Amino acid sequence: MKITDRKKETVSPDMIGLFFEDINFAADGGLYAEMIENRSFEAKEAFGTPGNFYVVDDCGYGWSAVKGADGREPRLQFVTGDPVSEVNPHYLRFTAAGAGQGFANKAYDGIFLKKGMDYKVTFYARCVQYEGENFRVEVRSADDICASAEVKAVKPIPYLPFSDLTIEMKTGVADEKIQAIHEMDKAGRTRCNDWVAYETVLHARKDAKHAQFVIALEEAGVVEFDLISMIPGDAVAGVFRKDLFEALKATTPGFIRFPGGCIVEGISLANRYRWKRTVGEWKDRAYIPNLWAFDDDRSKEGLDVQRPDAHYGQSYGIGFYEYFLLCELLGAKPLPVLNLGAACQFRTTQMVGTDDPAFQEYIQDALDLIEFANGDVRGKWGSLRAQMGHPQPFGLDMIAVGNEQWETEYLDLFKRHELFEKAIHEVYPDMRLLGTAGPILDAPLTGLAWDFYRNGQKTNPNFCYAVDEHYYVSPQWMYDHVDLYDSYPREVAVFAGEYAAHTEDKENTLESALAEAALLTGIEKNAGVVKLASYAPLFNRIGHSQWKPDMIWFDAENVYLTPNYYVQKLFANHLGDYTVEMEGQEKALRADSIYVSVTRTWAGEVIVKAVNTNAQPYTLALSDEQGAKTEADGKIWTLERAGEKPENMPEPSKVTENAVRIDGSVILPAKSFSVIRY
């Protein structure tokens, strides 16, 4: 292969990014470091299928009674009346009949503790009738206490009915009682009915797996609890699970697409993602059932169809503020996706008409989100961002209108884009807007969408920066379509927003990863039109999958990096600044089942990416444009299989990094993906 120095197209430094949707317990129970499940007692059980579904309050989900030493069991009541926040109205009224009684949380698949680690515990409580001095907070594993702390209970000032005070004022008794109340107030008591915020630290004395979180009372009594939280001390920014965050950081993502995906639209409009409900204090973020808690198997009948994870919910511990913060911490550009007034088009025809005054709420949400991200701290939403701890703007410069929508007789996608574009660019003329081409590539609706965006761009250069394409396809499809973007016009860019190679068993294997690497060589070669690309989905909590394959697998203790992850990481870490003229050499190599792309840096470094799908090694000859063989020192990173695939797990793989002396050729191992830099 001759490596030319003739520049073809500039490579966007943001090309390879991440798509983060809350599926497979990606947020709660995943990247969000919160360890308590159903911390606000707002869990719902989801039943049914799209268009025929319902939810049932199951406020006690994840919680259970803990008996005292005498064997008696306390009473747990999940009530409303006077909550910490009206948006999450339920709380626990706990009645202990004796000392040592408490309540426990199952914490997803159980609490995992690391010996020596500190864990921050917070909760709200209200002592209704409790004479004990403390609450006891513990992590228990097989009757062993792995971590514990005592928290001093704040008692209420006794309640004095106004009628009694009025009578006693005539006798002079009231003054004495009021003075006594003031003295109790000084002693650290709280007004009756006031919630008290508690905080303590649990220090893990030993490792623990599948343990329980427990709060217990020292004596009999009645205490109300709400918003119970446990966060590991090493959580990044106090929010993000460290090992998952580090796995993301290692990919050096150019952008993060968020929050979806179908999550944006919801199983109904009431279930859609509303960003304004995900910011501010977390106690005021309304919990909702996750769209992926509902069964989407239309072959089943009846309302009682239910997923194993029917309680899967969204606490919004990772809301839009945390999303912007995550982008900043990872050095990635934010790419929010907005609802354009329609629920998930795969599931329902529910929508708000463009002539309905309610449609303006969706446009205003877009304008307000931009203000929240970038606005002056003197404005409403910029002020909220500052109050949350980030007075500086987040630097949002692109936003997507809709997810996987397509034009139909009932859904006027094109008109919606026009209305969003006009409204946004009147206020923010430099904001880059992305459109959607629907859920699949090989369909007339996709061509119709592209015609619309390209025609709009002819008269309005800001009409559409890029069009979001999605494809979940076989590995062979990817090999057959490596040149997919060779003939795409360059006026409107492409955003490959969701893609993955799906084997017959939909598993994470080297086979699928190599196909994705091959496709990415074609995407990189066409960097002049493909500006953004992100694999999907990102996360999968083992045992809680709604969709496979996925880029990163994990459980409470470990992270499992898939071959597909390593492909994304290698491409993102070795992009180069511009592509070079290949003169059809890449097409000739495909006849040998070798897929390549070549970029250079402005400093003159050459980066060759090569996929060898053969069952034997391949010698790739390298020369300069004049035909002189390449002689250089460099490095080579190679992705290969690393063992037999365990059942229901990703196939093991590894990336090796080695110095290499290039003497006219490099060896590509069998069934491998390599990056060569010199």
Instruction: List, as one string, the DSSP characters of 359-403.
Output: HHHHHHHHHHHHHHHH--TTSHHHHHHHHTT--S-----EEEE-S
- What's the pLDDT score for residue 244? 98
Backbone angles phi, psi at 390, to 5 degrees: -140, 80
Residues in the chain: 678
pLDDT tens for 361-384 read 999 999 999 999 999 999 999 999
DSSP class of residue 574? T
Distance CA 598, CA 249 (A): 25
pLDDT tens for 247-257 read 999 999 999 99
Q: Is the C-alpha dihedral spanning 251, 252, 255, 256 positive or negative? A: positive
Distances (CA, A) of 462 to 166, 420, 449, 459: 71, 12, 17, 9
Comparing CA positions, the residue from 63, 121, 116, 48 lying closest to residue 94 is: 63
**Residue 28 token pair:** 């709660």
Comparing CA positions, the residue from 610, 635, 623 lying closest to residue 664 is: 623
Comparing CA positions, the residue from 567, 21, 643, 666 lying closest to residue 312 is: 21
- What's the pLDDT score for residue 350? 95
Cβ 62 vs Cβ 43: under 8 Å: yes
- What's the pLDDT score for residue 299? 54
**What's the pTM?**
0.95
Distance CA 41, CA 23 (A): 21
- What's the pLDDT score for residue 48? 86
Low-confidence residues in the chain, pLDDT < 50: none
Distance CA 279, CA 381 (A): 10
Angle at 190 between CA 184 and CA 191, to 5 degrees: 100
Residue written as tokens 């919606």? Answer: 416
Distance CA 442, CA 440 (A): 6
Comparing CA positions, the residue from 370, 367, 346, 351 lying closest to residue 260 is: 346
Backbone angles phi, psi at 588, to 5 degrees: -65, -35
**Residue 434 token pair:** 């992305």
Find how far residue 512's CA is from the centre of its chain: 23
- What's the pLDDT score for residue 164? 52
Amino acid in the structure at residue 655: V
Cβ 342 vs Cβ 405: under 8 Å: yes
Bridge partner list, 91: 79
